[in-house]
Amino acid sequence: MVTPTVSESEAASLLAELISYDTQNPPGREAACSEFIVEWLTDAGIDAELVYEPFEDRPQVIATIGSRAPGADHLVLNGHIDVVPPGDREQWSVDPFEGVVSDGKVYGRGASDMKSGIAAAMLAGRWAEAAGIDGTLTLTFAVGEETAEPGTKTLVEDLDADAGIVLEPTELEVHTVGKGLAWYVATIDGEPAHASRPHVGNNAVDGLFAADTEITNYRETIAERTHPLIGESLCTPTMVEGGTKENVLAERVELRFDRRFLPAESIEEIDVEMDRLFDPVREQGFDVSVERTRTYEAAEIPTDAPIAEMVREHSAAVAAAPTEPAGKEAATDQRNLVNDAGIPAIIWGPGTPEQSHTFDEYARVDLLVDAVEILAKTIEERC
């Protein structure tokens, strides 16, 4: 087999086309882009279909290339079609949903996170279909990643695959571990009273400051939990809402916080810690309830897992990418492959991580072209 080269102009125009579909989530407008991907793959001779689960009106994509023989080597490539909203359009110097190609870069929402990853997988899939492979290659392009919906989970949980690549932006550096994320809301209930007679009530604002002190102490404790590739556990208060009126002791305050955790920490144990954390606030007469509102679990595979070694080697050879062990501080769908489907998977892709969720987001076309070549070499060796 000869490894392919895709031209920069073809790679850039495919990425621009993917960006031109406004797939912002919320609300989750992936359908037209999913249809385009299936059509493109079908034109390339690939068996591709829309999957109307878990949402009837938000189809996602699965495509299969190769033998499908039981026991054959089976590699899964995974990407998410949704993007975060563009935010204030005035801050963009280009239309975030046009796909402007300029100076070796493609600009637009999702360029790096992660439509360049999807473009790389589509082009590598087309190559594999044309070259013919003995094993199996499955492409999974999911909805709902940006809001922790079960898109990827639905696509991969029944796959009998033995390696996976989640195409989040890493500039072709292999990451074997991803941090987990949980959001919590603590509701602090006090006793309202007229502000002229504050001793009669119990001010939920005081409860809020007491709660914040507990979070600060907790943060110092969990900072001792560290991972060599993704650093320490974190807990950060991020949103506050509450109070009734200027002259009323606050009846209720809601405090939201963001908890980043390591693979060694279980979410059930963290829930217990979160609840106990506010016992000192309860002792001051406040009712405090704690609820977890969103979860992305952490995931990890060994740094020397075969898929990691293989992609690291090809990335170094093709693009001089760094080969040191690395991890991602943000949460990804790697957890669905590793934790839910038992597929050893790395996080690796052509996007630039610092570009994720920014104004004037872009992806580098040279890295996209390199990614196609690295994927093709990996498919050739693996399947």
Residue 24, beta-bridge partner list: 83
Rounded Cα distance, 225 and 235, in Å = 12
Q: Which is nearer to Zn ion, 249 or 375 (CB)?
A: 375
DSSP symbol at 24: B
Return the amino acid letter for 298: A
Measured CA angle at 307 (ends 301, 309), to 5 deg: 95
Q: Which is nearer to Zn ion, 114 or 369 (CB)?
A: 114
**CB of residue 110 to Zn ion, shortest distance in Å:** 8
Q: Which stretch binds Zn ion (CB under 5 A): 4-12, 167-175, 190-198, 257-265?
A: 167-175
**CB of residue 358 to Zn ion, shortest distance in Å:** 13
**CB of residue 277 to Zn ion, shortest distance in Å:** 30
H/E stretch holding 261: strand 252-261
**Encoded tokens for 37:** 């991907």
H/E stretch holding 198: none
Q: Which stretch binds Zn ion (CB under 5 A): 71-79, 110-118, 203-211, 313-321?
A: 110-118
Q: Which stretch binds Zn ion (CB under 5 A): 3-11, 147-155, 163-171, 229-237?
A: 163-171
- Taking residue 199's Cβ as centre, other Cβ atoms within 10 Å add up to 7
Q: Taking CB under 5 A as the rule, does residue 171 contact Zn ion? A: no
Rounded Cα distance, 264 and 153, in Å = 21
**CB of residue 114 to Zn ion, shortest distance in Å:** 5
Q: Which stretch binds Zn ion (CB under 5 A): 23-31, 112-120, 289-297, 319-327?
A: 112-120
Q: Which stretch binds Zn ion (CB under 5 A): 105-113, 119-127, 199-207, 219-227?
A: 105-113
User: Coil, strand, or helix at residue 325?
Assistant: coil
- Total binding residues toward Zn ion, as defined by CB under 5 A: 3
Rounded Cα distance, 288 and 285, in Å = 9
- Per the CB < 8 A criterion, the answer to whether 94 and 100 are in contact is yes
Q: Which is nearer to Zn ion, 81 or 188 (CB)?
A: 81
Q: Which is nearer to Zn ion, 113 or 361 (CB)?
A: 113
Q: Which is nearer to Zn ion, 149 or 162 (CB)?
A: 149
Nearest residue relative to Zn ion (C-beta): 113
**CB of residue 49 to Zn ion, shortest distance in Å:** 23
CB burial string 231-250: b at 16+ within 10 A, e below: eebbbebeeeebbeeeeebb
DSSP symbol at 207: H
Choice from 113, 189, 361, 370 touching Zn ion (CB under 5 A): 113
Q: Taking CB under 5 A as the rule, does residue 114 contact Zn ion? A: yes
**CB of residue 353 to Zn ion, shortest distance in Å:** 10
Contacts to Zn ion by CB under 5 A: 113-114, 168
